[in-house]
């Protein structure tokens, strides 16, 4: 783990000698180091991504970054013991908010200049 040298895609505006500004360690940064404290968050995100995968059209799923994210997070979770994984997924299930799919309104799109 080296918060002072994040991968460029994680923090494109990173300045040498300063800590990562995005702190998006679980976005695939090779400098990330997951601790047991992060496992519940990882489990929660895995559950969210599995839910998205199971309800999203296959083409949309495969063209998104979600499959990569799911594979990456599952690989991290597998580094922990089976008991720690079970505990984290149980906690994540208790605290998991339902995924709500939305489409930006016309007003929101026009405010951002999107068509």
Q: Which tens digits make up the pLDDT trace of 15-37? A: 888 888 877 776 778 887 778 88
- Domain locations along the chain: 1-32, 34-101
Q: Which tens digits make up the pLDDT trace of 34-87? A: 788 889 989 999 999 999 999 989 999 999 999 999 998 999 899 999 999 999
pLDDT score, position 84: 96
What is the maximal distance between C-alpha atoms in the chain?
49
Please check the confidence at residue 1 and state whether its pLDDT lies above 70: no
Beta-carbon-side half-sphere exposure of residue 80 (alpha carbons within 13 Å):
21
- Using DSSP's 3-state secondary structure scheme, residue 110 falls into helix
Q: Which two tokens stand for residue 37?
A: 């404290």
pLDDT score, position 102: 67
pTM, two decimals, is 0.65
List the Cα angle 21/24/27 in 5-degree steps.
Answer: 145
């Amino acid at each position: 783990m080296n918060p002072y040298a994040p991968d460029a895609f994680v923090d494109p505006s990173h300045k040498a000698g300063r800590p990562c500004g995005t702190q998006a360690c679980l976005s695939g940064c090779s400098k990330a180091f997951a601790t047991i404290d992060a496992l519940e968050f990882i489990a929660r995100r895995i559950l969210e991504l599995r839910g998205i995968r199971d309800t999203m059209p296959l083409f949309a799923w495969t063209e998104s970054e979600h499959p990569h994210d799911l594979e990456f997070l599952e690989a991290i979770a597998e580094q922990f013991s089976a008991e720690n994984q079970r505990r984290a997924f149980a906690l994540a299930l208790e605290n998991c908010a339902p995924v709500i799919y939305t489409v930006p309104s016309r007003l929101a799109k026009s405010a951002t200049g999107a068509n």
